[in-house]
Amino acid sequence: AAQTATNRIPIVFLGGSDPVRTGLVKSYARPGGNITGIADLEGDLASKRMEIFRELVPGLKRMFMPYDAASGVASGLVGAQLEVYREAARRLGITLVERPVRTEAEARAAITDVRNAAVDGIFSPRSVSLNIPGLILDAAPKLALPAMFDNPFYVENGGLASYSRNEREVGRQGARLVDRIIKGAKPADLPVEQPTKFELVINMKTARALGITIPQSILLQAERVIE
């Protein structure tokens, strides 16, 4: 929306998924126009997230994946993630049980019905219009299924684990770009940056409730372990 509103006022984004493909910038090295920022690397994170989930849950053979198919924007964002998750699933020998949903009611019904899908875990790609992870979190205690998330907020509130970029560091990167623009730099000449820090967060209370023993190798990778 900001992009269409002005082509003069500098804009710094903090979460562009593939900003070249979506048309935010012309290239990573030379964005052009009035926009630059921090790409979120969601494609790379998606693959790593599934690898970690598999290590957390060694018996993970079938993963339930409801996803937002509500709008063109959502479908574009989610579609790029789906390609990565499907490839990672093939590589790891995991069967994805996909469920496209278009409304919160559809998402809630799909998650409630997950027991009939005979799955070992649940995860939803990032969305722009439906809070599917929140619905998963609400249902998780009744489902007794391990759930992986893309934001530590859900782990702080009872989810099993998350793997994501470190948002605090992304904020600092964005602030540095803003500072350079204020001092006279043009967004067109400031390369799009990538996240430099990532965090794995694990909720041990949830792991114990699910009867999951977290491997020491995973605990050593964790930025935070919630007891």
User: SS3 string of the chain?
Assistant: CHHHHCCCCCEEEEEECCCCCCCCCCCCCCCCCCEEEEECCHHHHHHHHHHHHHHHCCCCCEEEEEEECCCHHHHHHHHHHHHHHHHHHHHHCCEEEEEEECCHHHHHHHHHHHHHHCCCEECCCCCCCCCHHHHHHHHHHHHCCCEEECCHHHHHCCCCEEEEECHHHHHHHHHHHHHHHHCCCCHHHCCCECCCCEEEEEEHHHHHHCCCCCCHHHHCCCCEEEC
Which CATH number fits the domain that encloses residue 173?
Answer: 3.40.50.2300
Residues 88 and 185 in one domain: no
pLDDT of residue 141: 80
Residues 116 and 155 in one domain: yes
pLDDT of residue 4: 56
Residues 57 and 94 in one domain: yes
Q: Report d(CA 225, CA 208) in Å as an integer.
A: 13
Residues 56 and 131 in one domain: yes
The structure's pTM equals 0.85
Task: Give the pLDDT mean for 8-12.
Answer: 88
Residues 102 and 174 in one domain: no
Residues 142 and 65 in one domain: yes
Beta bridge partners of 201: 162, 224
Residues 78 and 156 in one domain: yes
% of residues, the chain, pLDDT over 70: 93
Q: Total structural domains in the chain? A: 2
Residues 70 and 140 in one domain: yes
Query: Is 60's pLDDT higher than 70?
Result: yes
pLDDT of residue 5: 56
pLDDT of residue 77: 67
Residues 218 and 177 in one domain: no
Task: Give the model's confidence band at 73: pLDDT under 50 very low, under 70 low, under 90 confident, else very high.
Answer: low
pLDDT tens digits along 116-167:
889 999 999 887 788 999 999 999 888 899 999 999 999 999 999 999 999 9
Query: Is 58's pLDDT higher than 90?
Result: no
Per-residue CA distances from 2 to 8, 13, 46, 178 (Å): 11, 10, 27, 16
Looking up tokens 């019905």 gives 113
Query: Is 3's pLDDT higher than 70?
Result: no
Residues 160 and 170 in one domain: no
Residues 55 and 89 in one domain: yes
Which token pair is 178? 């803003």
pLDDT tens digits along 163-210:
999 999 999 999 999 999 999 999 999 999 999 999 999 999 999 999
Specify the higher pLDDT residue, 111 or 46: 111
pLDDT of residue 17: 67
Specify the higher pLDDT residue, 198 or 41: 198
* Domain hosting residue 134, numbered range: 44-164+198-226
Residues 58 and 94 in one domain: yes
Query: Is 23's pLDDT higher than 90?
Result: no
pLDDT of residue 162: 97
pLDDT of residue 71: 62
Specify the higher pLDDT residue, 147 or 42: 147
pLDDT of residue 116: 80
Write the burial class of residue 31 (CB in 10 Å: 0-12 exposed, 13-18 middle, 19+ buried): buried
